[in-house]
């Protein structure tokens, strides 16, 4: 008998920070999110396949809970996260705050540099897992 809360395959660690990458504080603490584009969030997960995984990155507006952009990749490369970010900005404008976990893709200079270039405040959840 299988328990439904048990993982039967190895799970990749998508939230591990890379050594030397800057970690930013969590900005939304104690703030009411009351309008669109006040805060966006992005996260990554994996989808197990017959051989390995594909990775899904999704970007949402916290107020509306609407998925603004998403991408799938066969690697955990930063590029597909940036593509989703750029699509969301192009279609919806810029948020005030952009929150992620401390995964290496989101703490990279390329990703945080893109947010800084847009004048977006960078926010990160607690500790990497």
The whole-number mean pLDDT for each consecutive block of 10 residues of the chain, a chain of 129 residues, reads 45 60 91 97 94 94 98 94 98 98 94 98 79
Q: What is the pTM of this model?
A: 0.83
What pLDDT is stored for residue 126 in this prediction?
77
Count of helix runs (H) and strand runs (E) in the chain: 3, 5
Spatial strand order of the sheet with 39-48 comes to: 67-73, 53-61, 39-48, 97-100, 121-124
Question: How far is it, in rounded angstroms, from Cα 71 to Cα 125?
Answer: 21
What pLDDT is stored for residue 2 in this prediction?
40
Q: 3-state SS of the chain: helix, strand, coil percent to 5? A: 20, 25, 55
Say which residue the tokens 């990458």 belong to.
21
Backbone angles phi, psi at 88, to 5 degrees: -65, -45
CATH architecture of structural domain 39-124: 2-Layer Sandwich (3.30)
What pLDDT is stored for residue 1 in this prediction?
42
Residue 47: CA count within 13 A, CB half-sphere: 9
What pLDDT is stored for residue 18 in this prediction?
62
């Amino acid at each position: 008998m299988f328990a439904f809360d048990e993982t039967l395959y190895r799970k990749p660690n998508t939230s591990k920070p890379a050594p030397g990458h800057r970690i930013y504080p969590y900005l939304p603490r104690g703030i009411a999110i009351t309008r669109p584009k006040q805060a966006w969030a992005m996260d990554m997960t994996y989808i197990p396949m017959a051989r390995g995984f594909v990775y899904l990155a999704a970007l949402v507006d916290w107020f509306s809970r609407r998925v603004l952009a998403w991408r799938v990749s066969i690697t955990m490369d930063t590029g597909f996260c940036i593509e989703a970010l750029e699509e969301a900005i192009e279609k919806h404008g810029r948020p005030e705050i952009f929150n992620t976990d401390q995964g290496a893709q989101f703490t990279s200079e390329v990703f945080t540099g893109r947010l800084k270039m847009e004048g977006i405040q960078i926010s990160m959840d607690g500790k990497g897992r």
